[in-house]
């Protein structure tokens, strides 16, 4: 059974970069195979991984619905669609990528979300880890394109508005009864000391012990030069924090597996 990690939060908080650093950890420690899922219609996870995406789930569905189908003999429409969608998987060494992309029209992502969820449910059986980078806001949660998640990372930048978004996401997770094993709150681009107003807002909302990922000049430079974040050196401050977090997370996972008698 795969271990699933989903990254959520408001726009501009560095969710994609954090997803890439998590994938970097898993890949460098040879913990794969890994399936990376870009569930954001404004897809850019591929760039941070150094991959090129010739096809997306949304684009294939648009073409499939708009063209007069010539289905091969003996193949159902559903089977042919599944065959076409498998073409959206970009394969790499120990790391594959699936990208949702845009759906029908400028703003409709419902059908791609549904198909993406079905694909993930099927594909996840072939991977040790699934890491999902979600769109900004809470739409993916309310549409349940993120579900049965082992670890949900809720990301904010160093701002009061970002912290309030974290609280709304946590409330939504509870309200729609998403199956989430554990939640971790992350403050990204964090200074050495949190601003008093940010700390007060965290306390007011009852958000304890968030993971602080510092501002990182090396990561910023890699983003600026469009270099894959998988190639970031171990001297990166953000890499070190994410590595320590992942080591503890997976250690706790192993301990829970042993205690439950599944190991």
pLDDT, tens only, 47-80: 999 999 988 888 887 777 666 557 788 888 778 8
Q: Average of pLDDT values for 3-22?
A: 93
The helix (run of H) or strand (run of E) holding residue 86 is helix 77-86
Is the model more confident about 203 or about 65?
203
Rank 69-78, 93-102, 206-215 by mean pLDDT and report only the highest.
206-215
**Hey, what are 105's tokens?**
């029209």
Whether the per-residue pLDDT at 249 is higher than 90: the answer is: yes
Q: Can you spell out the DSSP letters for 98-136?
A: EE----STTT--HHHHHHHHHHHHHHGGG-SEEEEEEPS
% of the chain surpassing 70 pLDDT: 86
Q: Is pLDDT at 203 greater than 80 in this prediction?
A: yes
Residue 46 has pLDDT above 70, yes or no: yes
What angle (nearest 5°) sits at the alpha carbon of residue 42, between those of residues 40 and 44?
A: 85
Sheet containing strand 95-99, strands side by side? 89-90, 95-99, 34-39, 129-134, 3-9, 149-156, 180-190, 211-214
Q: What is the bridge-based pairing of β-strands 3-9 and 129-134? A: parallel
DSSP 42: S
In whole angstroms, how far apart are CA 139 and each of 18, 89, 110, 181, 263? Answer: 20, 24, 10, 20, 36
- CA distances (Å), 67 to each of 55, 60, 70, 116, 196, in order? 16, 11, 9, 21, 57
Q: Can you say whether the dihedral through the CA atoms of 190, 195, 201, 206 is positive or negative?
A: positive
Q: 212 pairs with which residues across the strands?
A: 187
Give the model's pLDDT for residue 107. 47
Query: How many other C-beta atoms are found inside a 10 Å radius of the C-beta of residue 123?
Result: 17
pLDDT value at residue 106: 47
Class of domain 3-259: alpha beta
- Is 244 within 8 Å of 24 (Cβ atoms)? no
Q: How confident is the model over 102-157, as pLDDT tens digits?
A: 655 544 555 556 666 777 778 888 999 999 998 765 555 555 555 578 999 999 99
Tokens read off for 118 = 């079905």
């Amino acid at each position: 059974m795969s271990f699933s990690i989903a990254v959520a939060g408001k726009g501009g908080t560095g969710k994609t970069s954090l997803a890439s650093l998590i994938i970097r950890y898993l890949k460098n420690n040879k913990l794969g195979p890994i399936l990376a899922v870009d569930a954001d219609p404004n897809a850019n996870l591929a760039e941070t991984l150094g991959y090129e995406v010739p096809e997306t789930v949304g684009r294939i569905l648009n073409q499939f619905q708009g063209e007069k189908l010539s289905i091969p003999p003996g193949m159902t429409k559903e089977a042919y669609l599944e065959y076409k969608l498998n073409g959206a998987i970009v394969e790499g060494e120990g790391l594959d990528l699936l990208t949702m992309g845009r759906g029908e029209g400028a703003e409709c992502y419902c059908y791609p979300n549904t198909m993406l969820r079905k694909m993930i449910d099927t594909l996840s059986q072939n991977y040790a880890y699934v890491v999902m980078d979600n769109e900004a806001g809470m739409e993916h949660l309310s549409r349940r394109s993120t579900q049965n998640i082992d670890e949900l990372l809720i990301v904010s930048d160093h701002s009061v508005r970002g912290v309030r978004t974290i609280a709304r996401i946590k409330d939504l997770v509870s309200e729609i009864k998403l199956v989430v094993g554990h939640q971790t709150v992350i403050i990204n681009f964090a200074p050495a000391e949190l601003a008093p107003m940010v700390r007060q807002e965290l306390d007011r909302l009852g958000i304890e012990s968030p993971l602080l990922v510092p501002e990182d000049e090396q990561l910023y430079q890699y983003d600026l030069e469009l270099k894959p974040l998988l190639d970031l050196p171990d001297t990166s401050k953000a890499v070190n924090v994410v590595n320590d977090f992942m080591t503890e997370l997976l250690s706790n996972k192993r301990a829970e597996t042993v205690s439950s008698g599944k190991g």
